[in-house]
Amino acid sequence: MQNYTNTVIATIENLAALISNAAHDSVVEKNDYSICDNMQALNFVYENFAAHTSIESLASAALNSNLDTVVRENINAQLTYIN
């Protein structure tokens, strides 16, 4: 369970960093540099992590969700490959 917890924490931290890194350009240029997609991904992970006990289960739930394909794939990558 500790590995699951650590991976969820790292995923949330990584998504928050992606949002933070894109904030300046998105606001200055009045364009969405993936902020909204990453916010949806972070929100999904945070709202759903307690209902799962493994990375595979949470990643599968993301892939089977109604989120945009880019968001689903981002969550899966963050959970299974990046962390």
pLDDT in tens, the chain (83 residues): 679 999 999 999 999 999 999 998 888 898 888 999 999 999 999 999 999 999 999 999 999 999 999 999 999 999 999 87
pTM of the model: 0.92
- Per the structure, the count of domains in the chain is 1
Q: Which two tokens stand for residue 5?
A: 């917890």
Distance from C-alpha of 6 to C-alpha of 42, rounded to nearest angstrom: 15
Q: Which two tokens stand for residue 12?
A: 């949330």
- Domain interval for residue 73: 2-82
